[in-house]
Every structure is written in structure tokens, then in C-alpha cells.
Amino acid sequence: MTAIIAAGGRGVRLGGARPKQFLALGGRPILQRSVDAFVSSDRIAEVVVALPSDLAASIPEYLRHRGKPVHVVEGGERRRDSVANAFARMSGDADVVVIHDAARPLVTSDLIGRTVDAAARYGAAIAALPVSDTVKRGGADRFIVETIPRNEVFLAQTPQAFRVDVLRAALAQAPGGDATDEAMLAEQAGHRVHLVEGDPRNLKITTADDLATAERLVAGDGANGAQMLRIGNGYDLHRLVEGRRLILGGVTVPFERGLQGHSDADVVCHAVTDAILGAAAAGDIGRHFPDTDAAWKDADSLVLLSRAAAVVADSGFTIGNVDVVVIAQRPKLLPYVDQMRANLARAMHIPVEQVSIKGKTNEGVDSMGAGDSIAAHAVALVRGSGVIFGGHSK
């Protein structure tokens, strides 16, 4: 199953210089939240994102190393061109394609699953909401023309899902004007489109008010439960030996010995990697980067940390802060701490203010105190969105 995220629009109505899909919602870009929802869905095997052409050249980091294929294509002039470009980029083995607006970051796994199931059954299906207000058709003169029975009216959302043959036929129609959704193209191609029960929280962010509403939902004072905060703990120790460089937090520290290990033996990176993975209950460093795997021989542990941060993001969590204690009798670490913090922050895509590193001696006691080893302890806080994950046991 392939997901297409339509982010090709240049809507800057929210006043920022950047298109609205790149604005932050609860600390994560709107586009990232939309992509995260599909990457975390066990129904989806790959994601194709259509970005505005001038932005497709510099792909945001959160669209890389996602644990599932995420492809980026350039959007087109019209929405249907963006979707057609993404459709052409899909790998050949999907039977159903689900299309989603990047501007609806609060989509849930349940809604994705419902829509996809209905499309597999009926050929085409969209999420849609019934209306509770009385519906009037009005004229250009702002007088009512008629009252429309409201049980015949639905508000279309995305996801919108289609069997591949249905979407191909819909997109292949004579190129007229644009369509505001893909269901419209399928209707015009003569396909019946099933209406799946949508989700009122799956709102489309087009105005500053929408963004404020979404912020409240994400912060957890909406209807769907509290934001989840979780803590993780990491520890590592390596022996100091002759003939190795000493690398701590990605900094090569001048010293007569270095840490022994399969990778670069960077205890700071290893402790932090285990802390963030632990907070997400996503295993540990040994599971993701086994020292029996030649790929990690002499590996740069900042790269491992960066991969672990992507695993944490794929699990639906945003890294809050990280605090590290490094226990080394010698050398003095203070001159290198700021560079280490910057390295760790860059690898985890968080501000450097959220990373703390403290050096300690071990008062001459034990192997650390005798200068035979260096150890590091780390804690990390992560937060999950109560909207995407609240109420589900994922």
C-alpha cells in the first residue's frame, strides 16, 4: 500500500514566508506530522511526498532514513499534476493508493485503515463528515436559492483511497481545470466513491485559527487525551587502551589513549542512543546496530545516534531534552563539552539548548577512577502526540 502526501501547494495564507505545511505544530512541522502518521501505519509500505518544486531540491531531514521508503517528487502547477507526479514515482506493487493533504496533520491510524479498507472493497473511498447545520444554497446576490436536505451533504476530507486502476483512469482524463480532490476526478471518470466516516479532529489547517485549534488538540486540552511524556535511561562503558583515538560526543579529544570497541566506542553517543531508544521503548543500540555487523565497524557513533533519532520519530515521539554525565578521571572534558553538545543536537535534530553534558571524575575509585575506562550515563525525555497516539495501544 502506497501513501501519497500532497504538499505541493504554496499556501502562505497563515502569514509566514514559508508554505503552511512547514510551520510547526506542537514543535513538529505540519508536513512531518502528516508523514509520520502514514509511516507509523502498519498498512503503509511506502510514502511519496509531492513538495513545491523549489523546496524539493533541499529535502528536510525528517523525510530521510524513515525505516520505510519515503520518496520525494516535485509538485506540479495544479494539485492533480502533483498527485500524478507522485503516482508515477510509486513502486509497482501497490494495489491501493491513499492520498492525503499535508495540511491535515492530525489524521489517525484508524482513519487511514478505514479508508483503505473501503477502497479495497469499493474501488474508491474518502473520509467525509456529515453536517449538523442546516445547509442552504445561496446565489451571488447573497439570497437563499434553496435548502438542501442535510442528510445528503457530506464534507470531504482526506485520506482518499483508490484502487490503482481507478486512480490511473481518474488521472488520465482529459486535462481540464484542477480538481480540489481526487474523488472529483474519480467521479468524473464514472467511478462510484464510497463515503467513510471521517474524523472531526482531522482538520485542515488553512488559517491561523485552524492552527491555534490544532495546537490545543496536540497539547492535549482537546477531546482526545493528554500528551504523553516518557523518560529513557542509557549507560555505557568502554576500556581505555593504547593505540586508539579518544572520541566523545563526536569530538576527537587529545589524549594518550582511546576507547576500545567495535565502532568508534563513543560512550557519550552510545548512552544517549540507548536513552532515546529506551524512552520510545524501541529496543537498544545492540539491537539496531549489532557489533556482529561489519557495517558498524569503526562506525561514527553520531551516525548511529542520528539513525536512532529517526527510529524514535518513526515511533511517533519527539525528543525533548537529553542530559549526560561522563565519568572520566582524565582528561578534562570541559573544553570540549560545547562541541559535543552541538554534535549531539545536530544528530538528533534538536536545539543545542536541549542537550546537557557534564564531566565528572570518579575520585580515583574503581576502573574509571584508575583511568582504565570511561563511562557515560544519559537520560532523555520524549513526548508523543496525544492526538495521533492517544487512546490507542500502539
Catalog residues that contact Mg ion under the rule CB under 5 A.
236, 270
Q: Shortest Cβ distance from residue 333 to Mg ion (Å)? A: 17
What single-letter DSSP state applies at residue 279? H
Q: Shortest Cβ distance from residue 205 to Mg ion (Å)? A: 42
Amino acid at 328: A
DSSP 287-313: HHS-TT-GGGTT--HHHHHHHHHHHHH
Q: Shortest Cβ distance from residue 245 to Mg ion (Å)? A: 15
The Cα–Cα gap between 83 and 53 comes to: 13
The Cα–Cα gap between 220 and 276 comes to: 22
Whose Cβ is closer to Mg ion: residue 199's or residue 236's? 236
Q: How far is CA 258 from CA 98, 177, 370, 385, in A?
A: 51, 66, 15, 41
Q: Shortest Cβ distance from residue 203 to Mg ion (Å)? A: 45
Q: Shortest Cβ distance from residue 93 to Mg ion (Å)? A: 39
Cell of 51: 513538495
Cβ atoms < 10 Å from Cβ of 201: 17
In 53-180, where does DSSP find H-type helix?
53-56, 79-89, 109-122, 164-171
Whose Cβ is closer to Mg ion: residue 274's or residue 314's? 274
Whose Cβ is closer to Mg ion: residue 46's or residue 236's? 236
Whose Cβ is closer to Mg ion: residue 36's or residue 236's? 236
**Beta-strand runs (E) in the chain:** 2-6, 24-25, 28-29, 46-51, 70-74, 96-101, 124-130, 135-138, 144-148, 154-163, 194-197, 228-241, 246-248, 251-253, 258-259, 317-327, 355-360, 373-384
Q: Shortest Cβ distance from residue 305 to Mg ion (Å)? A: 12
Helices (H) and strands (E) counted in the chain, each on its own, are 13, 18
Q: Shortest Cβ distance from residue 344 to Mg ion (Å)? A: 15
Angle, CA of 261, 266 and 272, to the nearest 5°: 125
Q: Shortest Cβ distance from residue 131 to Mg ion (Å)? A: 58
Minimal CB distance residue for Mg ion: 270
Whose Cβ is closer to Mg ion: residue 79's or residue 238's? 238
The Cα–Cα gap between 232 and 87 comes to: 40
Whose Cβ is closer to Mg ion: residue 182's or residue 274's? 274
Whose Cβ is closer to Mg ion: residue 103's or residue 378's? 378
Whose Cβ is closer to Mg ion: residue 104's or residue 238's? 238
Whose Cβ is closer to Mg ion: residue 77's or residue 366's? 366
Q: Shortest Cβ distance from residue 292 to Mg ion (Å)? A: 14
Query: Is 98 in contact with 116 (CB distance < 8 Å)?
Result: yes
